[in-house]
Copies of this chain bind each other. A is one copy, B any other.
Amino acid sequence: MPEIFTYGFMQRAFIAGAIIGVICPAIGVFIVLRRLSMIGDTLSHVALAGVAAGMLGSIYPIYSALAFSIAAALGIEKLRQEFKDYAELSIAIMLSAGIGLATIFISMGKSNSSIFSYLFGSITLVNLQDIRTVAILGLIIMVSLIFLYRSLFYITFDEEAARLAGVPIKRVSLYFNILVAMTIAVSMRIVGILLVSSMMVVPVAAGMQVAKSFKQTMIYSVLFGLVAVLMGLFISFYWDLAPGGTIVLSGIFILISTLLFKNIKLKVTANHIKATA
């Protein structure tokens, strides 16, 4: 057995990473196509406000963070209706509100430096309990996605037409938003916010480069997500680098490869046509 697998924490990292590497891109495809790419970043800042509020009100901070995140996700949906043509604006507004509240709560005292420990996890630090949580979350998400696949696809492509085709758009959107908020609030504490929010975006962007249908986009995104996690963990272990960052940069590396691959393919075809024409 190679050294990397002899450590319990690395074994756990591989398991947790594989789960995150599958669920985040799967849910991320819908997030990106709904133009909510930055929702991870926003919800994590809102969660910070939630933790601070929990500390102020002597509520268990994880609960208040979760409550804040879900409220924010619903708020974003509401704002999205006001800013139909600029979906990402609703995210930016919620981000501002989130950090604004967080700084005020923090300056009101009580919250201490442990506030950040509620936000930052690390993939190498997960324990069995964490894996169980992530696995359950993953299961809920995967089942929901299979169940909602068609309706989410339609809503994402064309909300109006989806409504007319009989998709209960309000309910589906609501459920999806809660799912996203839960994913972020729960898993950021376990594997770190960087990993969750990046995994929702970077593999999807890479997948969109090579896919020739929506289904393929889904498959490639998940595949790239998995590869990024595995590659990142290996590199991180053998080159002594921070695991979260390394996984994300592996994802970026995959993305750049797909971009190059696509552009080179275009060039080659062009030359081929030139040569044969």
Indicate whether A252 sits within 8 Å of B100 (C-beta atoms), given known contacts A38-B95, A95-B38: yes
**C-alpha gap A88/B197 in the complex (Å):** 14
Instruction: Report whether B245 and A101 are in contact in the complex, using a CB–CB cutoff of 8 Å.
Output: yes
Digit string of A204-233 for contact with B (CB within 8 Å is 1, else 0)?
A: 010011000000000000000000000000
> How many identical chains are in the complex?
2
**CB-CB contacts below 8 Å: A79-121 with B:** 82-83, 86, 88-89, 91-93, 95-97, 99-104, 106-108
**C-alpha gap A31/B49 in the complex (Å):** 26
* A107 contact from B89, B241, B249, Cβ within 8 A: B241
Instruction: Report whether A249 and B104 are in contact in the complex, using a CB–CB cutoff of 8 Å.
Output: yes
* A259 contact from B82, B96, B201, B241, Cβ within 8 A: B82
Instruction: Report whether B92 and A248 are in contact in the complex, using a CB–CB cutoff of 8 Å.
Output: no
**C-alpha gap A225/B135 in the complex (Å):** 45
Verify if A242 is at the interface (C-beta below 8 Å from B). Answer: yes
Chain B residues whose C-beta falls within 8 Å of the C-beta of A259 in the assembled complex: 82
Chain B residues whose C-beta falls within 8 Å of the C-beta of A83 in the assembled complex: 205, 208
Digit string of A231-273 for contact with B (CB within 8 Å is 1, else 0)?
A: 0000000000110111011011001000100000000000000
**CB-CB contacts below 8 Å: A14-71 with B:** 32-33, 35, 37-38, 41
Instruction: Report whether B103 and A194 are in contact in the complex, using a CB–CB cutoff of 8 Å.
Output: yes
Instruction: Report whether B245 and A92 are in contact in the complex, using a CB–CB cutoff of 8 Å.
Output: no
* A100 contact from B33, B35, B99, B245, Cβ within 8 A: B245
A-side interface residues toward B, CB under 8 Å?
32-33, 35, 37-38, 41, 82-83, 86, 88-89, 91-93, 95-97, 99-104, 106-108, 194, 197-198, 201-202, 205, 208-209, 241-242, 244-246, 248-249, 251-252, 255, 259
Listed A/B pairs (30) with beta-carbon separation below 8 Å: A35-B86, A35-B88, A37-B86, A37-B88, A41-B41, A83-B208, A88-B88, A89-B205, A92-B197, A93-B201, A93-B202, A93-B252, A93-B255, A95-B197, A95-B198, A96-B251, A97-B252, A99-B198, A100-B246, A100-B249, A100-B252, A102-B245, A103-B194, A103-B245, A104-B242, A104-B245, A104-B246, A104-B249, A107-B242, A107-B245
